[in-house]
Amino acid sequence: MTLKQLDDQQRIKVFNALADEKRIRMIRLLFHENSQHMCTDIGRSLGISKSNGSYHLKILSDAQLVLIEREGVTKYVTLNKEMFDRYLPGFLATL
């Protein structure tokens, strides 16, 4: 598999991750607040259940659009702006 094909696989993950309104709302929240958030706070802010929020965050994390760090039992989420700059330059500014 060539490097270009590897990039294509990542592009597929990125676009699949962005093909849902809840995940777009999560990205918008993380971008506009420009800080680290607890996973549970994101779900609460968007009015979705903890399990639903975890599901959507996993998809975003698998696409490397967000970074999730664990401190004890608490998970914190930040936007991976480098991935957006690489695959979707200018996208975040449209939010």
pTM beyond 0.75: the answer is yes
C-alpha distance from residue 51 to each of 11, 43, 74, 87 (Å): 26, 9, 14, 28
- Which domains, from first to last, does the chain contain? 3-94 (1.10.10.10)
Asked if pLDDT for residue 2 goes beyond 70, the answer is no
- Alpha carbon distance 84, 48 (integer Å): 24
Asked if pLDDT for residue 3 goes beyond 60, the answer is no
Phi, then psi, of 17 in degrees rounded to 5: -65, -35
pLDDT for res 58: 95
pLDDT for res 50: 87
pLDDT for res 52: 92
The pLDDT tens digits of the residues spanning 7-41 come to 888 999 999 999 999 999 999 999 998 878 888 88
pLDDT for res 5: 61
